[in-house]
Structure 1
Amino acid sequence: MTDISQFDSLAQLYADWSEMPFRQHLEFPSVLGFVGQVDGQRILDLGCGSGVFSRQLAKRGAATVVGFDQSSGMLDFAVQQEAKEPLGIRYIPGTLPTELHGSFDLVLAVYVLPYARSYNELLSLCRSAADALRPGQRLLASPMSPAINTDPSYYSRYGFRITPSGPLTDSTPVDLNLRFDHYDAHVTAYYWTAATLEKALVEAGFTSITWHPYQVAETDDVDPAFIEPYLYCPHAAIIEATKTPVRCDG
Structure 2
Amino acid sequence: MTTQYDELGSLYEEFSRTPFRQELEFPSVIGALGDVRGLRVLDFACGNGVFSRTLMQRGARHVVGLDESAGMLEYARAREADEPLGIRYIDGTLPDALAGTFDLVLGLYILPYATSYEELVDLCRVASRALRPGGRFVTVLVHPELHPDPDHYTRYGFRLTPKDAPGAPAPLTDADPVDLHLTFSGHDTHIYAHYWSADTLELALREAGFGPVQWRRHRTAGSASDVPPGFWEPYLSAPHAAILDTYKEPEPS
Alignment of 1:145-160 (within 5 A): 145-160=143-158
1:118 shift after superposition? 0.6
Q: State yes or no: 1:197 paired with 2:201.
A: yes
- Change over 3 Å in CA distance of 1:209–1:220 after alignment to 2: farther
Alignment of 1:58-207 (within 5 A): 58-164=56-162, 165=165, 166-207=170-211
1:247 shift after superposition? 4.6
In 1, Cα distance between equivalents of 2:209 and 2:12: 31
Alignment of 1:211-230 (within 5 A): 211-221=215-225, 223-230=228-235
Percent pairwise identity: 55
What is the DSSP-based 3-state SS (H/G/I as helix, E as strand, rest coil) of the residue aligned with 2:230?
Answer: helix
Match of 1:57 in 2: 55
Q: Which among 227, 236, 241 is matched to residue 236 of structure 1?
A: 241
TM-score by length of 2: 0.93
> Could you tell me which amino acid in structure 2 is paired with residue 97 of structure 1?
P
- Change over 3 Å in CA distance of 1:244–1:224 after alignment to 2: farther
Moved over 3 A (4+): 217-224
What is the DSSP-based 3-state SS (H/G/I as helix, E as strand, rest coil) of the residue aligned with 1:14?
Answer: helix
In 1, Cα distance between equivalents of 2:8 and 2:186: 13
TM-score by length of 1: 0.94
- Change over 3 Å in CA distance of 1:208–1:167 after alignment to 2: closer
Match of 2:30 in 1: 32
- Change over 3 Å in CA distance of 1:182–1:114 after alignment to 2: same
5+ residue gaps, structure 1: none
In 2, Cα distance between equivalents of 1:134 and 1:24: 31
CA RMSD of aligned residues (A): 1.4
1:217 shift after superposition? 3.5
> Could you tell me which amino acid in structure 2 is paired with residue 122 of structure 1?
L
In 1, Cα distance between equivalents of 2:26 and 2:221: 10
> Could you tell me which amino acid in structure 1 is paired with residue 243 of structure 2?
I
In 2, Cα distance between equivalents of 1:233 and 1:25: 17
Match of 2:46 in 1: 48
In 2, Cα distance between equivalents of 1:155 and 1:45: 26
- Change over 3 Å in CA distance of 1:246–1:220 after alignment to 2: farther
What is the DSSP-based 3-state SS (H/G/I as helix, E as strand, rest coil) of the residue aligned with 2:211?
Answer: strand
For these two proteins, the number of residue pairs brought into alignment is 246
Match of 2:10 in 1: 12
Report Cα offsets for 1:138-185 as digits up to 9, x if no partner.
Answer: 000001100111212111111111111453000011111111113211
